[in-house]
Amino acid sequence: MKVTIDGISVEVEAGTTILNAARVIGGEIVPPAMCYYSKLEGSGGKCRTCLVKVSKGSEKDPRPMPKLVASCRTTVMDGMEVQNITSPEVIEARKGIVEMLLINHPLDCPVCDQAGECHLQDLGFEHGAAKTRYEFDRRTFERIDIGDKIQLHMTRCILCYRCVFTADQITDHRIHGILNRGDHSEISTYIKAAVDNDFSGNVIDVCPVGALTDRTFRFKNRVWFTKPVDAHRDCDHEKCNGKVTLWYKGEDVLRVTARKDVYGEVEEFICNTCRFDKKKTADWVIEGPRKISNHSVISSNHYDTLHPLPVVKNNPVLIEANQEQFERNTRL
């Protein structure tokens, strides 16, 4: 089927959603997505950030769709024409959606461990308003530990349901979900039960904001001060391939995460043993530095080699002066 998005045509298979068709094209044409996750069945249709305008339904029925549609839930038809960034109506609607998502969000980016790799941060920067019109008190929740390695900060949650789908589809049983209704809805566990299974740590990776965080990494460092390195090991768990990203600060591994693609989605889910228990370089086979997009703040401290290039060139005078300064500071 042939579909045209923002003037660019692409051929896709029947049943492909508009969002995935846009991902085939790539670039700025791809609508943002906070709840859709290609690895999780049934995801999408919750956050509405991927709304697009269908200006032509198909060759057989060229009438435009009367309202904006969620691109993650709408399949393409032959001859369909879609507007994303070329539609002022879409841009204005997306601005309103971001404002709604931020109504109860605490905006505690300076102290949030997700800062630097938060999809809501990117969305707010690209489509958000300069100030909010909301005058009421924001809803707040107490932080809870849903296991010895995961902390839930529900105040930051945008109810994307990703963690719920993850627990449903890659674990033996799910004990957390959505409780209550309306503006009282929250992710929680029944009677504070602990989320404890071999793949529970993956809910951290799929969370697009800082609602679910790694307790072993909290407040240890900023993500842009670390260096991501691809590595693998022969994992004993039958469902884990052992391919991860190690986040280094100097020679220390501060955290271990699953590898993610250009859309921030996990390529392969990993077990808790790889994530939490293997934080020594000797536990892994190092493949090389992780390729980071230049649009990411993480790339500001990322090198193409494992060993950073020397800042000072081979100038004997400067090398001697640096050595003297180092010895002086060491004595002090």
Per-residue pLDDT averaged across 148-156, rounded? 89
| 144 has a pLDDT exceeding 60 | yes
For the four alpha carbons of 298, 101, 162 and 50, in that order, the dihedral sign comes to negative
Q: What angle do CA 46, 49, 53 make, to 5 degrees?
A: 110
Phi/psi at 15 (5° precision): 95, -5
Q: Look at 195 and 149; give whichever has higher pLDDT.
A: 149
pLDDT at 193: 61
Token reading at 310: 């020397």
pLDDT at 331: 58
pLDDT band at 320 (very low <50, low <70, confident <90, very high): confident
pLDDT band at 160 (very low <50, low <70, confident <90, very high): very high
Maximal CA-CA distance, the chain: 81
pLDDT band at 145 (very low <50, low <70, confident <90, very high): confident
pTM: 0.81
Amino acid making up residue 330: T
243-249 and 227-232 strand pairing: antiparallel
pLDDT band at 329 (very low <50, low <70, confident <90, very high): low
| 238 has a pLDDT exceeding 80 | yes
Task: Give the domains, in start order, of the chain with CATH numbers.
Answer: 2-97 (3.10.20.740), 104-130+140-214 (3.30.70.20), 220-331 (no CATH)
| 308 has a pLDDT exceeding 50 | no
Token reading at 229: 């390195």
pLDDT band at 270 (very low <50, low <70, confident <90, very high): very high
b/e sequence 99-134, b meaning 16+ C-beta within 10 Å: bebbebbeeeeeebbbbbbbbbbbbbeebbeeeeee
| 92 has a pLDDT exceeding 60 | yes
| 52 has a pLDDT exceeding 70 | yes
Phi/psi at 190 (5° precision): -70, 125
pLDDT at 323: 72
Q: Among candidates 269, 292, 265, which has minimal Cα distance to 35? A: 265
